[in-house]
Amino acid sequence: MKSIYDMSYKQMEEWCESKGWKKFRTQQIFAWLYKERVYDFDLMTNLSKETREELKKDFTFNPLELVRKQVASDGTTKFLFRTADGALLESVLMIFDYGNSICVSSQVGCNMGCTFCASGLTKKQRDLTSGEMMGQVMHVQAELDKKGERLSHIVVMGTGEPFDNYDNVMNFLFTANHDRGLAIGSRHITISTSGIVPRIKQFADGHYQYNLAISLHAPNDKLRSQIMPIDRAYPLDQLMDAVAYYSKENNRKLTFEYILLKGVNDSAEHAHELARLLRPYTCYVNLIPYNSVDEHGYKPVTRAEAMKFYDILKKEQIQVTIRKEHGSDIDAACGQLRIKELRKEKERKQAKALQIQQDQKSKPSFKAAMVDGTANVYDDAYEANEMPDPDKE
């Protein structure tokens, strides 16, 4: 069944019309969902019982269940969720001077295979629905509601490539941004892409006011194609053409993200090359401290090394910032918490399978039990498939 969070305002209006109800019902429903933030149809007290029953017939509420929460000393909080079909995904709440920001996942796993990323360790299982993305936001907002606070920013930068799930991501953001939805300002919403060129152009044509961030991470194709396989499909000349098109169509400043990997993309030469590449664009560079992922073997740079890179870009007249580290005392890398939980689940399954094997080896067979007269052996023998299933007879 669909989650009610899957529905955009327009879709909800159409659904109400299909029931023969006036459009203003949508206003009431959206107010309960996003202003009052109730999590039960029966709490929508200005709707008739019949209306609530109709809603219950067609929709569930939040499609995600919270599995685990990790809180860092700086307040950064990681949330691990499970979807209705058992997939795991994570979101991060980050506390800034300017507000509370959530990093949302857009897919279960990711096919982009960036070599430094925990999320890319598992292939994409599926796209997340708009409702599952909104579900992440509403869970985190519910936490903030307890303190009387609001989410002010959304970044679609968690597990997944948002432009590989374009329609669902845009539908979700539409509700997040809508006046009758969460009303988060479009300038407070950022989508990050690894560089899917056709979608960047599609996004440019939409003239959205959301911020666009490009995960660049290398200043040339030789290096970029090694650490980001997407570069082989859309090399830098095509990516920068799409960026130029976006800038022309939207007149907006772009962000380029650059994770500093020690001994890989962090030399002075790389900094100068990056400055040459980006000089024609109205943009700024966000240097990101790397959170180590055991499987990848990359190392973070020191603060002094990051500052050296920063200074070169500054001198080259490139606007640059170094992103503040968040949650460094928890599993800070994107997707790390999920990978750990998947590993634990695998270990649990293996242990269970082993236990079943051992149990079955040590059990007396049904025939043997009949010979020695054990009366209560029926259930065990039935489990071991030595008895016919009485329900099927």
- Comparing CA positions, the residue from 93, 116, 91 lying closest to residue 105 is 91
Task: Encode burial over 359-375: b for 16+ CB neighbours within 10 A, e otherwise.
Answer: eeeebeebeebeeeeee
Query: At closest approach, how far in Å is the CB of 336 from ligand SF4?
Result: 11
Query: At closest approach, how far in Å is the CB of 80 from ligand SF4?
Result: 16
Nearer to ligand SF4, 99 or 113 (CB): 113
d(CA 282, CA 254): 7
Active-site hit among 13, 16, 90, 103: 90
Q: Which of 47, 94, 114, 332 is in the footprint of ligand SF4 by CB under 6 A?
A: 114
- Residue recorded with tokens 């020191």: 302
Instruction: Enumerate the β-bridge partners of residue 68.
Output: 80
> Which range of residues in 35-43, 53-61, 115-123, 219-227 is near ligand SF4 by CB under 6 A?
115-123
Q: Is 119 in the site for ligand SF4 (CB under 6 A)?
A: yes
Q: Which of residues 241-280 bind ligand SF4 (CB under 6 A)?
A: none
90 in active site: yes
Q: Which two tokens stand for residue 328?
A: 């460094």
Q: Which of residues 157-186 bind ligand SF4 (CB under 6 A)?
A: 159-161
> Which range of residues in 38-46, 68-76, 107-115, 127-135 is near ligand SF4 by CB under 6 A?
107-115
Q: Which residues have C-beta within 8 Å of that of residue 244, sequence separation ≥ 6?
A: 280, 281
Q: Which of 26, 76, 100, 194 is in the footprint of ligand SF4 by CB under 6 A?
A: 194
Determine contact, residues 334/118, Cβ cutoff 8 Å.
yes
Secondary structure class of 215 (helix, strand, coil)? strand
Determine contact, residues 153/99, Cβ cutoff 8 Å.
yes
Query: At closest approach, how far in Å is the CB of 27 from ligand SF4?
Result: 37
> Is residue 97 packed enough to be buried (19+ CB in 10 Å), middle (13-18) or exposed (0-12)?
exposed
334 in active site: yes
Nearer to ligand SF4, 161 or 380 (CB): 161
Q: Which amino acid is at 155?
A: V
Give how far Cα 369 sits from Cα of 358, 365, 377, Å: 18, 6, 7
Q: Is 51 in the site for ligand SF4 (CB under 6 A)?
A: no
Nearer to ligand SF4, 223 or 387 (CB): 223
Q: Which of 88, 110, 182, 288 is in the footprint of ligand SF4 by CB under 6 A?
A: 110
In degrees rounded to 5, what are phi and psi of residue 143? -65, -45
Nearer to ligand SF4, 72 or 156 (CB): 156
Give how far Cα 97 sits from Cα of 94, 138, 153, 215, 265, Å: 10, 22, 12, 24, 30
Query: At closest approach, how far in Å is the CB of 214 from ligand SF4?
Result: 11
d(CA 139, CA 133): 10
Nearer to ligand SF4, 132 or 161 (CB): 161
Q: Is 112 in the site for ligand SF4 (CB under 6 A)?
A: yes
Count of residues of this chain found to bind ligand SF4 when the rule CB under 6 A is applied: 11
d(CA 116, CA 5): 33
Q: Is 293 in the site for ligand SF4 (CB under 6 A)?
A: no
Query: At closest approach, how far in Å is the CB of 261 from ligand SF4?
Result: 12
Q: Which of 5, 62, 108, 120 is in the footprint of ligand SF4 by CB under 6 A?
A: 120
Nearer to ligand SF4, 117 or 339 (CB): 117
Q: Which of 117, 137, 138, 275 is in the footprint of ligand SF4 by CB under 6 A?
A: 117
DSSP for 239-258 reads HHHHHHHHHHHH---EEEEE
Determine contact, residues 153/101, Cβ cutoff 8 Å.
yes
Active-site hit among 103, 114, 117, 334: 334
Nearer to ligand SF4, 181 or 195 (CB): 195
List the catalytic residues. Answer: 90, 334
List interacting residues with ligand SF4 (CB under 6 A). Answer: 110, 112-114, 117, 119-120, 159-161, 194
